[in-house]
Amino acid sequence: MTLDIIGPGFGRTGTMSCKEAVEQLGFGPCYHMSVVYEQGHQQLWADAINGAPLAIDAIFEGFRSAFDWPACSWWKELKAANPNAKVVLTRRDPDAWYDSIASTIFKALPSIHVDPARNAWRVHTRKLIFTDTFHDDLGRENVTKVLREHEADVIASAPPAELLVFDVGDGWEPLCDFLGVPVPTAPFPRTNSSSMFREEAGLD
């Protein structure tokens, strides 16, 4: 198991677009919240969320990159296990990000899914995101404060030469320059907008 790219940015900072981008650049497959269920990894993550050591090899075998929750909450452990990996911190305006996360993840996780197994997984993701990350205060002031503190910790902790602070709105050039790969001719991926998320989650 060798990760080339680790994305410590919280969800709704462009992580799905980055997932598609790095896969186009040859750094796939990319681990993301969207693949946890299809990989059957719910229990492995539930164990880690509840205090067990993260089963890094079992979870990330075959993956070359990782973005989004739940992986971003263990980014330091992933970096220690993959010392040559580069760190790509996805970042966006905190208030715009809050508007997005409040209307998507904060609405979806408490909702009831028709699949009981997905409901069981949501219990653990609520603990990870609502409780462990935001300390059960989902107000704008606290949530954006936690975001800023997390980003500051990443910037202070990652070796500067191995870190890119990246806004997906900047497109291919800074990402490709950082990774040392050619710029594709295809447009940079733009996916998983708030409206797309809400429609897929059945919130609208």
CATH of the domain at 140: 3.40.50.300
Q: How far apart are CA 201 and CA 144, in angstroms?
A: 24
Report CA torsion sign: 12, 15, 20, 24: positive
Please check the confidence at residue 93 and state whether its pLDDT lies above 80.
yes
Tokens representing residue 202 in the block: 């059945």
Domain span at residue 117 reads 5-201
pTM for the full predicted model: 0.93
Q: How far apart are CA 170 and CA 90, in angstroms?
A: 11
Please check the confidence at residue 182 and state whether its pLDDT lies above 70.
yes
Give the pLDDT score at 64: 98
Please check the confidence at residue 86 and state whether its pLDDT lies above 50.
yes
- The number of distinct structural domains making up the chain is 1
| pLDDT tens by residue, 141-150 | 999 999 999 9
Please, are residues 104 and 47 in contact by the beta-carbon 8 Å criterion?
no
